[in-house]
Amino acid sequence: MAERIGPRRNATAAKVAGVDDRKKTPWVALGIAGVVVVAIVAFLLNDPNKGERDFGKALSSEESRKVPTARGQRGQTKLPDSSTVRLAPETMLTIPPKGHRGAGIEGAAHFVVAPDSVSFRVRSRKVGVETKTGTLAVTSYPEDKEVFVKALEGALTVHPNVDAKETVELAVGPGMAINEAGVTRMLTQPESDAAFAWVDGSYSLNAVPLVGTIPILQRWYNTPVSLADKSLDARPVTAMLKLDSSKDALDAIQAAASVHITFKGDTLTLADGAPPAVPVVKKKGK
């Protein structure tokens, strides 16, 4: 005959079962918590953006240092890790405090990166560039709609948007453009020349409207220029300007655009056509 369990024994059995459940519950909770902690640690260890976030904080800290260049001025400086950087005119370099390799840039800069196991980072707007050694250039003036990055020696890891996880590997070549949305595209050779020819001491104009050469002459040569009339604004200019001579640059623009230099007061002005011929004055008796 099967044993019948009375109400009292049922209660006792339930009590025992309850005690067993209560004893097991803390271990289950601890196990779940452990899994969560491991997942968080794994995420942090594998988070590709952690280095970029830390670097961004370092650049914005009060301990960072600013190195500016003025209109018509180029410069060179050595960074704390022995990397060197050349700066184009009207550029602001931000050097992070000790413990970080790299710099922030607004304008244009050329970096020769000292080899190290720690990543060297360059930040411009929301774009991050990372490498351990090599040579690279970045151009990003306020009026530029894109950030331009070029690997001159060695490979680069580009973060199109430092707030996102995406990275793009960039090899030696014409370079890459990254817009505000983090969309990347490869540069054409003329675009690359326009952004980076300054690294080799030249400035490349490729069908630039004549009016567009005015801010270029001001930035790179500290030479104010005006146009004689509005009809010249859209005239295209294709030329390679030498950065070490404003005279050579003006000569190249005059030849390419079929204009000549005149003066309105103290202002250098470009007018249409060849310069007027200088009359030959004959001496009496000859």
* CATH, residue 246: 3.55.50.30
pLDDT of residue 68: 98
Say if residue 26's pLDDT is above 70: no
pLDDT, tens only, 67-113: 999 999 999 999 999 999 999 999 999 999 999 999 999 999 999 99
Beta bridge partners of 131: 120
pLDDT of residue 5: 44
Q: Token pair 């602001």 is at which residue?
A: 92
pLDDT of residue 239: 98
What CA–CA distance (Å, rounded) separates 95 from 146?
Answer: 22
Q: What is the mean pLDDT of the chain?
A: 88
Say if residue 137's pLDDT is above 50: yes
**Per the domain annotation, does 92 fall within a domain?**
yes
Contact 107, 140 (CB under 8 A): yes
What CA–CA distance (Å, rounded) separates 259 from 272?
Answer: 5
Beta bridge partners of 193: none
* Domain match, 70 and 149 both: yes
Say if residue 13's pLDDT is above 60: no
**Per the domain annotation, does 163 fall within a domain?**
yes
Single out the residue in 194, 220, 238 at which a domain terminates: 194
pLDDT, tens only, 271-280: 999 777 656 5
Range of the domain at 167: 51-194
* Domain match, 184 and 218 both: no
* Domain match, 73 and 156 both: yes
Beta bridge partners of 105: 93
Helices (H) and strands (E) counted in the chain, each on its own, are 5, 18
pLDDT, tens only, 149-203: 999 999 999 999 999 999 999 999 999 999 999 999 999 999 999 999 999 999 9
